[in-house]
Amino acid sequence: MAAPEAWRARSCWFCEVAAATTMEATSREAAPAKSSASGPSAPPALFELCGRAVSAHMGVLESGVWALPGPILQSILPLLNIYYLERIEETALKKGLSTQAIWRRLWDELMKTRPSSLESVTCWRAKFMEAFFSHVLRGTIDVSSDRRLCDQRFSPLLHSSRHVRQLTICNMLQGATELVAEPNRRVLETLASSLHTLKFRHLLFSDVAAQQSLRQLLHQLIHHGAVSQVSLYSWPVPESALFILILTMSAGFWQQGPGGPPCRLCGEASRGRAPSRDEGSLLLGSRRPRRDAAERCAAALMASRRKSEAKQSTRAAPATRVTRRSTQESLATGGTDPKRELHPPATSHEASGPKRPPSAPATTSSASASSSSTSSSKRASASSAPQPKPLKRFKRAAGKKGARTRQGSGAESEDLYDFVFIVAGEKEDGEEMEIGEVACGALDGSDLSCLGLPALEASQRFRSISTLELFTVPLSTEAALTLCHLLSSWVSLESLTLSYNGLGSNIFRLLDSLRALSGQAGCRLRALHLSDLFSPLPILELTRAIVRALPLLRVLSIRVDHPSQRDNPAVPGNAGPPSHIIGDEEIPENCLEQLEMGFPRGAQPAPLLCSVLKASGSLQQLSLDSATFASPQDFGLVLQTLKEYNLVLKRLSFHDMNLADCQSEVLFLLQNLTLQEITFSFCRLFEKRPAQFLPEMVAAMKGNSTLKGLRLPGNRLGNAGLLALADVFSEDSSSSLCQLDISSNCIKPDGLLEFAKRLERWGRGAFGHLRLFQNWLDQDAVTAREAIRRLRATCHVVSDSWDSSQAFADYVSTM
């Protein structure tokens, strides 16, 4: 009797407290109803009024509401704001109540977006709170506009931060400055433990303050947090300093930014250290900030690029040395405001001499004159000597010039001006320095320290990410050098994705860095996804080189859209790839389990593909997209290699391949008793001899008891082919097929209905999934619905409402 008494006491308490708080609300709602011109409306129920009052006074009644019985609590949940609804989640679950429907309704009403059909939402509360956090951070939602979002007792960012698993930073780094501000310190601490993925989309040029905020944010989230994945999307004109900053911080390198506050999490061990040249930590005097490695690298390479442009414009002028005067002229042509220069030269004599620190005493005019004459004599002697080959110019991404003009802050030129004189002041022998030699030296050799990249042995190392993804981010020479330099020791990296980055000949440096990484103790790289428009190597040669460089790789996905003429090593005048990258020796045995290849147009040499397959004895999944072979015999050679060397192969996929002349090879595959799933997607299987080939194909499948899935989208199967395929599920079949994909096969409703009747007649049990996307089912909607109703008794049907009038030409070709 104790439990009913407690239940009754809680109910009475709820009514008493609610009645006292609803009297005023009831009077306010009743008054306008009497004076309304449209007549009185139905008053809200007493229970609803009580629930609203309790929701409005949850700050006082929260503990009591948590103790309410389940039936009463279930009616109150929809009336709570998002803060108390989130706090009461655990209590509701203990009482057998679910809030998923409430969060879904909040998503539909407040976010006003529909989740992707490919996304499976397991927790609507977490999804809503994560999106709510992003909207509040960017200022795209007004919390005061809806009572369910507004509560003075809670901070929207702090309350929703623990549900954020993925954070996206866009455009001008919006949100980075707000997160590192002191009022949001607890928000950042919460994100450091909850956030796993950090994404950058459509980045634009940012100012120095925003980059400094981003530096602190990355240090907190990556080095002292739980972020394991960094992804960059759609950055057509990457800003060198910002891109290098993101890369170096993701790799675990940390150096205090200029003028930034010290990190309170690093401890006293990282503070007060003596600066080291290997770290790029030079103290430049009171008027010069301390520059980190990323900024010095970007400044050096931008100086080289502008110097090359100046030489290209003059043509007749010989290669000049970078003195203080020539640097001023170079900066002036780049649009630098002279008022922003930190140390403008006073005289020509002073300009021609070596750089003098601000604290050094002034030298005499005779010393300046002697220095000038010495420099002149050196130049004269150099001109009489044989001149070296001209320096190779850096490639510049399209739109870079306009983007540099758009930035227009002058900070970049100021950094460049300081960097040139810093390097000149470090020359112990006082000789002048040509920046082009520095940049090209790093390109041609392996010494990258001259570019200001962080020294791996001396820089502070922290926790680094395990997954790096670059989608549609063009990699300039300096960006590719930085990436390769970091990859060579990035042992914590497990997955690398480089998608349409315009690597060109930098692919050779990437292969060298991957080979160096593979030789590191503790290398964890197991997945590599590489795709681009062009490649200087044929795709099969590139695949062989990657497999050689990374023998422990488990997943390799590689795609090249077009054969490259400009970067082809066979073209006269282009330097060929290094000898250690391409070789005729056999590939050593590797650990590859999944291989996906997308080929450009043109016949592929089957022996090269077979050499990769022979070395991949652990291969379980193979996908070939747009592969073309010289003859059906070459395709048969590949299949025979799979049968002999890849004994554990389970999934095989072919997409956009002309297999009309390879019907015997297709039958050979269907008789393979090790394969569990086969995909022939848009392979023109039934283009020739369909009447003879279909029965042979069905007979092979009926005798295969290991094949579980068959995908045949886009092969013009038609009604006749579908009815022939139905015989696979007959009573005399030993097939265990449970997944069938017949999308985009010109199937009409009457043929689908007959297919469903045959399955019913044979009494075959449920066989899994049937996919019917983009077929001609809209020609007779009634018959199509009847067919799908019958099919759902035996399998799970997935279809869509596709407009078949768009595919009339395809229909005519099958008549």
pLDDT digits (tens, 9 = 90+) for 579-604: 566 666 678 899 999 999 999 999 99
Give yes or no for residue 362 having a pLDDT over 60: no
pLDDT at 5 over 90: no
Q: Is the Cβ–Cβ distance between 597 and 539 less than 8 Å?
A: yes
So what's the pLDDT on residue 338?
36
Q: What is the DSSP letter of 322?
A: B
Give SS3 for 531.
Answer: strand
Residue 105 pLDDT > 50, yes or no?
Answer: yes
528-562 b/e (C-beta count within 10 Å ≥ 16 → b) = bbbbbebbbbbbbbbbbbbbbbbeebbebbbbbbe
- Coil, helix or strand at residue 560: strand
Quote the radius of gyration of the chain (alpha carbons, Å).
34
Strand partners, 322: 433
Q: Is the pLDDT of residue 99 over 50?
A: yes
pLDDT tens-place string over residues 239-255: 988 999 999 999 999 87
User: Token pair 């004109």 is at which residue?
Assistant: 237
Q: Where do the H-state alpha helices sit in 671-780?
A: 690-702, 718-725, 749-761
Residue 283's alpha-carbon distances to 302, 422, 613, 620, 702, in angstroms, are 22, 10, 56, 56, 78
% of the chain residues with pLDDT over 90 = 48
Residue 281 pLDDT grade (very low, low, confident, very high; cuts 50, 70, 90): very low
Q: What is the pLDDT of residue 493?
A: 97
Most confident segment among 291-295, 548-552, 759-763: 548-552
What are the pLDDT digits (tens) for 388-416? 333 333 333 333 334 433 344 344 334 43
- Which stretch of 64-68, 126-130, 620-624 has the lowest confidence by average pLDDT? 64-68
Pair 746, 814: CB distance under 8 Å? yes
CA 588 from centre of chain: 31
- Top mean pLDDT of 301-315, 368-382, 528-542 is at 528-542
pLDDT, tens digit (0-9, with 9 covering 90-100), for 645-681: 999 999 999 999 999 999 999 999 999 889 999 999 9
Give per-residue pLDDT as tens, 598-610: 999 999 999 999 9
pLDDT at 44: 62
Residues 45-74: what's their mean pLDDT? 81
Pairing assessment for the beta strands 467-471 and 796-798 based on DSSP bridges: unpaired
Helices (H), 315-399: 324-333, 348-352, 365-384
Q: What are phi and psi of 88, to 5 degrees?
A: -90, 5
d(Cα 324, Cα 417) in Å, to the nearest integer?
9
Q: Output the CA–CA distances (angstroms, integers) from residue 642 to 520, 645, 671, in the order listed.
A: 32, 6, 13
> Which is more confident, 207 or 574?
207
pLDDT at residue 359 above 80? no
Average pLDDT value over all residues in the chain: 75
pLDDT at 715 over 90: yes
Distance CA 800, CA 778 (A): 10
- The residue ranking higher by pLDDT, 292 or 165, is 165
